[in-house]
A and B are shown apart, each in its own frame.
Chain A
Amino acid sequence: MTFINYAAREINCKIVYYGPGLCGKTTNLQYIYDRTNPASKGKLISLATETDRTLFFDFLPLDLGTVRGFKTRFHLYTVPGQVFYDASRKLILKGVDGVVFVADSQEARMDANVESLRNLEKNLIDHGFDLQTIPYVLQLNKRDLPTAMPVDELYRQLNFKGEPTFEATAPAGPGVFDTLKAVAKQVLMELRKK
């Protein structure tokens, strides 16, 4: 649900990074935070456990610049990936404008990817959204690991509507901003239809 503020001339959009536990959602936000000009970003908030696993969400507000006289502000959220945090995960999707699915490229995590994607679809439906139509980007993360599966195979199993798909190595950066740009573009394009 985009928030259009005519008084402040701002458009506020919410993007959620989804995916199985330890796939690199928080690392994506951390990289974006580290590489963004201090004037364009707010604080990165992480509600994490003592062992640095996301407990509720990470949050990063980002100013991207001006479109048609309106400041565009994106609020990036991650969800907790661990299966048993489903109730919290669902809350984060409230009012979402665009979703990034971060997949773990390792073969051993394929089942977790598929389970998380199904969980995303179900939780979106509960909020009245449809994964088929919502702005959506797939990121194949951890491409640097020797255990990473071939891209073709991941694409075949996880890409379901020809959505933009990016290879990434989140800690080092490749693919991180391409992913963000692709989802932000889809979200802003949606505004045209409204």
Chain B
Amino acid sequence: MSDFVLFDEEFHQIKDVIGRLKADAQAKVVFIVDKNGQQIAVQGDMESLDTTSLASLTAGNVAATDGLARLIGEKEFPVLFHEGERDNVYISIVGQRVILVVIFDERSSLGLVRLRVRKANGELERIFDTIQKKVESEKTRRQEGFDSPFAEITDEDIDSLFRE
């Protein structure tokens, strides 16, 4: 299974797209998580939010819902919506690979969020396609003799992580 790699260029493109989505959808926070629970990018007021935990729980939520979908013969549920007293969470799957999460309150509405997310989804899908292609071409380059930046990790490097 190939690793997921995020380069500077695409990271900034992703930040731009979700920054625009946050403004257009009048959302509080927008973030992107991979399906394994790793946070990729976030925009918005994160001070009161534990985004690492949010990422892991979102991925768990999507994984559980995917499991449910398959049990009833669906491929996936591409959209999940949780409605709270003040804040709401809108979760959608981008290109079957990453998860887009929008947190919003009464200043926005489900309809507006849904509309803006649809537009952002297409842009994000293109960026993640580019990342995928880059990772594949990097792999080929390496097979042709270029070294990975981690090829030279030594035992001492790793031992030093565990020194008190």
Q: Name A's B-contacting residues (CB within 8 A).
A: 1-8, 11-12, 14, 42-43, 45, 47, 56-57, 59, 61, 64-65, 67-68, 70, 72, 75, 87-88, 91-92, 94-95, 128-129, 177, 181, 184-185, 188-189, 191-192, 194
Do residues B153 and A68 form an inter-chain contact, with CB atoms below 8 A? yes
Contact among B7, B148, B153 for A7, CB-based, below 8 A: B7
With A45-B57, A194-B150: A128-B1 Cβ-Cβ less than 8 Å: yes
For A187, give the chain B residue with the smallest CB separation.
B158
Interface residues on B, range: 35 or more
With A42-B50, A68-B157: A14-B36 Cβ-Cβ less than 8 Å: yes
Residues from chain A with Cβ under 8 Å of B158 in the complex: 67, 184-185, 188-189
- What's the A-B contact tally at a CB cutoff of 8 Å? 123
Contact among A4, A68, A92 for B4, CB-based, below 8 A: A4
Q: Is B112 an interface residue (CB 8 A)?
A: no
Which DSSP category, helix, strand, loop or mixed, fits chain A's interface?
mixed
Contact among B3, B36, B37, B152 for A68, CB-based, below 8 A: B152
Do residues B3 and A64 form an inter-chain contact, with CB atoms below 8 A? no
Residues from chain A with Cβ under 8 Å of B64 in the complex: 56, 88, 91
Min CB distance B24 to A, Å, is 23
